[in-house]
Amino acid sequence: MTLAHWLYWIPNPFQKVVALFCIITLGAAILLLHYLIGLSYEFHIFLSIPVLLSSWFLGLTVGIAVAVLTVTAWLQIDWILDHETETHAALVFNSIMRLIISLIGAYIFSKLRETLESLSKHNNYLYNEQALVKENIRLREDAEHITRHNLKSPLNFIIGAPDILLESDNLTQEQRTLIQQIQKTGYRMINEINHSLILYRIEKGLYTLNPVLIQLYPMLQRVKEELTPLAKQMGVGIEIHYHSNTVAMGEEMLIFSVFNNLIKNAVEASANGDRVTVTLTGEASPQVTIHNPAVVAESVRARFFDKLATANKPGGTGLGTYAAQLIVHAHGGEVAMITSEQEGTLVTITLTQNASC
């Protein structure tokens, strides 16, 4: 039974007027939703679910209010017409109302169909946009991967040439020192490239770990020594506490980079006079905690370990914490962060002693 048929069986013309008013109100809500969706599709504006629902709730709220008035009017009109007979004018009015209601019902259902079609087009547009973004990210990662490979060939020459130059007897000490610095820089660059290539393979699930037994405390001491110049420059202290000579299984270079990245982040986030505290605990389940008094920005707390997540850090890329999580997970471990105004920030790295990690 259609809406027009249902209204046809309402015997009272006055009740039909009130019912028609309800229909028009709900129809207006549908038209409003149709307009918003059409506007968003035309200008590529993404309408969130709450915005769309608010349009429905607006119409429903008005509709409910009208429904209450309808029931009240219905009861009053029933009482009045119980004592009167239906006139010829009322019959004519009844026929006109049937025609109007049929036209309005057809228009409303037509607009509802258009609204659903607009929703379908809008969803298809968003799906295509999402697929395009994913494809662009994949192409960028592939380009970076190829670039890293291409950089290794000229770097091998930069690393090897200084050995030949240093064999010369007519070099001053200053020249020898400069050549040695060039060679050290070349080694550092090729190590960074190799490290990024390993991360790429881990990310794609193509890397096979070759774990060895790692003494964690000596490794943390090496990290501290490497970061001491930066810490002194910023006026930040680094303390390491340990309760036992804890060991873990993993690739030494990768685990070193985890501690280096996370402790460096803590130092850079700290203010002059602050202290970064690194604590090593656990035997069966080695655990390293890194604490600093600073608070992680609220905008990145939920995505602290996500790729490219960074805030208020000049030159920050957001790759350090992402790489740390990637490596720890590849070793079968866990890494977590909690932060608050009262306690500062605490990053916890849990590793494993399982040789099959």
Tens-place pLDDT, residues 290-301? 999 988 887 777
Residue 100 included in any domain: yes
DSSP H/E element including 199: helix 173-203
Query: Running along the chain, 357 residues long, what does each successive block of 10 average in pLDDT?
Result: 51 59 63 57 46 49 50 46 48 56 61 70 76 72 64 76 85 89 84 80 83 92 92 93 84 92 91 92 86 85 72 59 90 90 91 67
Map 323-334 to HEC letters. HHHHHHHHCCCE
For the chain, give the percent of residues with pLDDT over 90: 21
Q: Which domain holds residue 60?
A: 1-207
Q: How far is CA 2 from CA 104, 155, 266, in A?
A: 12, 78, 68
Same domain, residue pair 52 and 111: yes
Tens-place pLDDT, residues 221-245? 999 999 999 999 999 999 999 877 7
Task: Read off the amino acid at residue 117.
Answer: E
Residues 6+ apart with CB under 8 A from 299: 311
Residue 91 included in any domain: yes
Q: Can you tell me the distance from the alpha carbon of 250 to that of 331, in angstroms, rounded to the nearest whole number?
A: 6
Residue 356 included in any domain: no
pTM assigned to the model: 0.55
In this predicted structure, what is the pLDDT of residue 298?
79
Same domain, residue pair 19 and 150: yes
Residue 33 included in any domain: yes
The tally of domains found in the chain comes to: 2
What the block records as the tokens of 254 is 């990768």
* Helix %, strand %, coil % of the chain (to 5): 65, 10, 25
Tens-place pLDDT, residues 149-202? 667 677 777 788 888 888 888 888 998 889 888 888 888 888 887 788 888 888
CATH number for the domain spanning 310: value is 3.30.565.10
Same domain, residue pair 251 and 131: no
Q: Can you tell me the distance from the alpha carbon of 14 to that of 304, in angstroms, rounded to the nearest whole number?
A: 64
Tens-place pLDDT, residues 3-12? 455 555 555 5
In this predicted structure, what is the pLDDT of residue 93?
52
Same domain, residue pair 34 and 70: yes
Domain boundary among 161, 184, 207: 207
Same domain, residue pair 61 and 142: yes
Domain boundary among 207, 236, 264: 207
Under 8 Å between Cβ of 209 and 250? yes
Same domain, residue pair 174 and 241: no
Under 8 Å between Cβ of 345 and 270? no
Same domain, residue pair 219 and 168: no
